[in-house]
Amino acid sequence: MRGKKTKTIRKVLHRIKKYWFYLGVSLILTMIAVAGTLYLPILTGKAVDHIVDKGLVDFEGLFAIFKNMLVFIAVTALAQWLMSLCNNRMTYCVVRDIRKDAFEKLEILPLKYVDDHPTGEIVSKVIADVDQFADGLLMGFTQLFSGVMTIVGTLGFMLSIHVGITLVVVVITPISLFVASFIAKKTFDMFKEQSITRGEQTALIDEMIGNQKVVQAFSKEEDVIERFEEINGRLEKCSLKATFFSSITNPATRFVNSLVYTGVGITGAFAVLKGFLTVGQLSSFLSYANQYTKPFNEISGVVTELQNALACAARIFELIEEKPQVPDKKDALVLGEVTGKVDLKDVSFSYVPGKKLIEHLNLSVKPGQRVAIVGPTGCGKTTVINLLMRFYDVDRGAIKVMDQDIRNITRKSLRSSYGMVLQDTWLKSGTILENIRMGKPDAAMEEVMEAAKASHAHSFIKRLPKGYDTVIGEDGGSLSQGQKQLLCIARVMLCLPPMLILDEATSSIDTRTELKIQNAFAKMMKGRTSFIVAHRLSTIKEADVILVMKDGNIIEQGNHGELLEKDGFYAKLYNSQFAV
């Protein structure tokens, strides 16, 4: 635990190193600002000593002191200002770097990681944790440095005036630290309970608001509100406990401060009586007593904040240091011309070790062939696609494209030789044009329109308020599922890759349009190898090879005629179409 923390600190420091210049300047400026702040009470004290009584005011001495004071004020303020600027820059730049690294990591993580972790969890690492870390870091920079320096500086100044009274301050002050850490320890569990309850509530909110339409369709609003209110009530209770008990810290330490103040007052007064101290020095002491205890309180606050920040940092680093996908081999080949020859040689694969899925799969696809993958729902059809695209690596055996093991090919060239349309349509927020151009950013407008026409998306795009420049929101916004799918097809049409993967690609498109698209597809597929996951038997019938899958295994393989003759699972599936 402890070791982990130091490791995290080291990593944070490592990142700050890049901005050592700002760090150094900030440290120097902090020293100047603190020194200035501390020296001012001494000057004030001296000034007070020039103001003794009626007719006993030394104006000449006063003016000399005033001149000094003004200089110190100016320098201190300037140092404070520049210091804040440095701290800001350093913090936000470090945070920017971290966010960037985290995001870049997302792009090279194995898909397994993303599939296994809820989106919300990863997003909260990149956004909320980083933000919290920024707050903590900034507070750490600005308050921890100056706090520590103020303590040290005050101690020095106080010692230079009077040792005895300094001792009084030094002895009493730590009490506030004890009180603070005692309360922090006691409230830790309360905060934990609060954050657990909060998490529970967020999960409910996320789920219910995410599916608000279903909730309303079943008129479950009141039930849902009731469940919400139950958690809400618990949250209020534990939140009150945590907030209240932790907020005792402040009054408690302030009470200790007033003890210090009184202690200084009484010992100081006696010292003045004995002539060890002037009244002006006592006044300086009194302001020091205030200044000395303040950073203690702040530091205890900063320490909790920093610990929180470190915990966040640890979570982010976990993501950043997550093992990336196996990088392309150094000598990885770039696929040249691809005719579409694909071979699966004794492929075995499973998502969870020990839970067999695909076993000893053999398949050889000649250029231009159509491979249809059929089977009941949930039989693992999409797994084959995951393997072909190398979203996942096979456990045993090999997949070869153009007789090359795909692990020896750069991912980029492998993937750009496939055109993929998934059932789960995904569009980026941006304009329609940007979305179609995704695979070919430099495509000319005519090409884009050509592709859109071929996929029958053109007519609906034209009817949108701004045509191709219409901005669509997150996840396609107001487009219908079918329209989204048409756009996804247009996206592939534009790139014209040598091989195609269509996963239920036309499930939400009406069959009339589908027919037209398929004509376009047929033209496009001529001479191109294609893998099609489909329910529609009309699509499947024309395939050269049909893979029939059940429970993750390929149980039959052949063309339509052969499979019907076999009178196996496929025949049963096919005949059921008309068994109403």
Partner 1 sequence: MKSLLKYLKGYKKESILAPLFKMLEASFELLVPLVMAAVIDKGIEGNNKSYIVSMCLVMILLGLIGFVCSITAQYFAAKAATGFARKLRYEMFSHIQKLSYSKLDTAGTATLITRMTSDVNQVQSGVNMFLRLFLRSPFIVIGAMVMAFYVDVKVAVVFAVAIPALSLVVFGIIFANIPLYKKVQNGLDKVLLITRENLNGIRVIRAFNREAEEIEDFDEKNIALTKIQLFAGRISALLNPITYVIINFALVILLYKGAVRVDTGYITQGDVIALISYMSQILIELVKLANLIVTLTKAAACASRIQGVMEIPEGMETEGERKEGAEKETGEEQDEQGRTTESSNIEETMENDEAVRFDHVGFTYEGAGGEVLTDMDFSVKKGETVGIIGGTGSGKSTLVQLIPRFYDANTGSVYVDGKEVREYEIEELRDKIGMVPQKAALFKGTIRDNILFGRKDATDEMIEEAIDVACAKEFIEAKEGGLSAKVEQGGRNLSGGQKQRLTIARALVRRPKILILDDSCSALDYATDAALRAGIKKLSYHPTVFIVSQRTASIQYADKIIVLDDGEIAGMGNHEELLKTCQVYQEIYDSQYKKEGR
Binding residues for partner 1 restricted to 37-96, rule: CB under 8 A: 40, 44, 47-48, 50-57, 59, 62, 66, 69-70, 73-74, 76-78, 80-81, 84-85, 88-89, 92-93, 95-96
> Which 194-233 positions form the footprint of partner 1 (CB under 8 A)?
198, 201-203, 205-221, 223-225, 228-229, 232-233
> Which 229-268 positions form the footprint of partner 1 (CB under 8 A)?
229, 232-233, 235-236, 239-240, 243-244, 247-248, 250-252, 254-255, 258-259, 261-262, 265-266
> Which 145-204 positions form the footprint of partner 1 (CB under 8 A)?
198, 201-203
Q: Which of 515, 527, 562, 565 binds partner 1 (CB under 8 A)?
A: 515
Report which DSSP code applies to 378.
T
Residue with tokens 């101290």: 277
553 binds partner 1 (CB under 8 A): no
Estimate the share of the chain in helix, then strand, then coil, as percent rounded to the nearest 5.
70, 10, 20
The distance of closest approach from Cβ of residue 122 to partner 1 in the complex, given in angstroms and rounded to an integer, is 6
Q: In 211-248, where does DSSP find H-type helix?
A: 212-217, 221-247
# residues near partner 1 by CB under 8 A: 165
Q: Which residues contact 215 (CB under 8 A, 6 or more apart)?
A: 208, 221, 224
Q: Are strands 499-503 and 418-421 parallel, antiparallel or unpaired?
A: parallel
Burial of 232 (0-12, 13-18, 19+ CB in 10 A): middle
Based on DSSP, count helices (H) and strands (E) in the chain, helices before strands: 23, 12
User: Is the Cβ of residue 54 or residue 185 nearer to partner 1 in the bound state?
Assistant: 54
Chain centroid to CA 574: 47
561 binds partner 1 (CB under 8 A): no
The distance of closest approach from Cβ of residue 156 to partner 1 in the complex, given in angstroms and rounded to an integer, is 20
The distance of closest approach from Cβ of residue 565 to partner 1 in the complex, given in angstroms and rounded to an integer, is 17
What are the CA-CA distances from residue 76 to residues 21, 32, 39, 141, 323 (Å)?
A: 20, 7, 10, 18, 48
Judge whether 384 and 362 are in contact, CB under 8 Å: no
User: Is the Cβ of residue 6 or residue 63 nearer to partner 1 in the bound state?
Assistant: 63
User: Is the Cβ of residue 2 or residue 54 nearer to partner 1 in the bound state?
Assistant: 54
279 binds partner 1 (CB under 8 A): yes
User: Is the Cβ of residue 364 or residue 429 nearer to partner 1 in the bound state?
Assistant: 429
User: Is the Cβ of residue 9 or residue 438 nearer to partner 1 in the bound state?
Assistant: 438
Q: Which two tokens stand for residue 136?
A: 């903590």
Of 19-27, 99-107, 329-337, 357-365, the window that binds partner 1 (rule: CB under 8 A) is 99-107
> Which 298-327 positions form the footprint of partner 1 (CB under 8 A)?
none
Judge whether 546 and 560 are in contact, CB under 8 Å: yes
Q: Which of 22, 39, 349, 391 binds partner 1 (CB under 8 A)?
A: 391
- The closest alpha carbon to 517, from 545, 488, 542, belongs to 488
> Which 464-493 positions form the footprint of partner 1 (CB under 8 A)?
464-465, 473-475, 478, 480-483, 485-486, 488, 491
User: Is the Cβ of residue 9 or residue 148 nearer to partner 1 in the bound state?
Assistant: 148
Judge whether 260 and 126 are in contact, CB under 8 Å: no
Q: Which two tokens stand for residue 386?
A: 């995951």
Q: Are strands 404-405 and 499-503 parallel, antiparallel or unpaired?
A: unpaired
> Which 403-462 positions form the footprint of partner 1 (CB under 8 A)?
411-412, 415-416, 418, 420, 422-423, 426-429, 438-439, 441, 460
User: Is the Cβ of residue 6 or residue 77 nearer to partner 1 in the bound state?
Assistant: 77
508 binds partner 1 (CB under 8 A): yes
Judge whether 517 and 456 are in contact, CB under 8 Å: yes
User: Is the Cβ of residue 269 or residue 444 nearer to partner 1 in the bound state?
Assistant: 269
User: Is the Cβ of residue 209 or residue 444 nearer to partner 1 in the bound state?
Assistant: 209
Query: DSSP letters of 52-110?
Result: -STT-B-HHHHHHHHHHHHHHHHHHHHHHHHHHHHHHHHHHHHHHHHHHHHHHHHHHS-
User: Is the Cβ of residue 1 or residue 217 nearer to partner 1 in the bound state?
Assistant: 217
H or E element that contains 131: helix 130-139
512 binds partner 1 (CB under 8 A): yes
Q: Which residues contact 157 (CB under 8 A, 6 or more apart)?
A: 38, 39, 42, 284, 288
The distance of closest approach from Cβ of residue 416 to partner 1 in the complex, given in angstroms and rounded to an integer, is 6
Q: Which of 535, 550, 553, 568 binds partner 1 (CB under 8 A)?
A: 535
> Which 370-389 positions form the footprint of partner 1 (CB under 8 A)?
376-378, 389
Q: Which two tokens stand for residue 410?
A: 């750069």
Site track for partner 1 across 114-133, x = CB under 8 A? x---xx--xx--xxx--x--
The distance of closest approach from Cβ of residue 3 to partner 1 in the complex, given in angstroms and rounded to an integer, is 30
Q: In 326-431, where does DSSP find H-type helix?
A: 381-388, 411-416
